[in-house]
Each structure stands twice: as C-alpha cells, then as structure tokens.
Amino acid sequence: MEDILISLLCSRATWDRLIAKAPIADYCCPSYLDECEFPGSSGTVTMAYAGPDLALKGIRPFLDALVRVPSLQWLQTCAAGVEDPVYTSLARRGVKITNNHATAPAI
C-alpha cells in the first residue's frame, strides 16, 4: 500500500464492517487487536477504534493498553460516555477522542 496515512488499531470484525461501508483501505492500514500481543507493538498506531464487538467483550483492557501507546492521535469509540478517567488521561496527551454509537457510520 502506498501513502498510508492512518495506522488503525481495531478488531478484524470492526475492519470488515468499516470497509464494507467506505473505501478506507486506500488510506488506512489496520492492525488487528485479536492478532497483536499488545496494542501498538507492531509499529506506530495513529488511530484506535473501539467498536461494538470490542465493547461487548470488555473494553477496559483495551483502554488501559492505549494509555501506553505514545503514537496514538485519535480514539474513536462506540461508548455512550467518555467520563472514565482513561479518556481524560488520553485527552491530556492530545489524543482526539470521538464517540459514536454502532447504529451510525463511524470515523
């Protein structure tokens, strides 16, 4: 892939759902949560997406791991609220945090 602008950390199910709705594969390269030892361990992650499938499995370990990913610039989450202290920690670092429910187009 040429000129990849976004390195996206997400689950494979989320990626499949995203590319079915929009041609993002031209500018986005996924790293799959379910195939990484640790989020961000396989290169630079600029964006993370905590989709509904992750929320159903338990989002806490994922969020805690994101605090340790220094290259993260944007977190898209399906969570209804972002009052958890981990979001404050990420925001203080300059990470953009956006949320969106699963019924609307994401990212």
Amino acid letter, 33? L
The string of pLDDT tens digits covering residues 84-98 is 888 899 999 999 998
In angstroms, what CA-CA distances link 60 with 2, 30, 66, 67, 92? 34, 21, 10, 11, 19
DSSP assignment of 36-74 equals: -SSTTTTS---EEEE-HHHHHH-SHHHHHHHTT-TT--E
- Give mean pLDDT, residues 12-16: 83
The string of pLDDT tens digits covering residues 25-34 is 888 888 776 6
pTM given for the model: 0.71
More confident: 102 or 14: 14
Does the structure show a pLDDT above 80 at 66? Answer: yes
Instruction: Determine how many CB atoms are found less than 10 A away from the CB of residue 66.
Output: 21
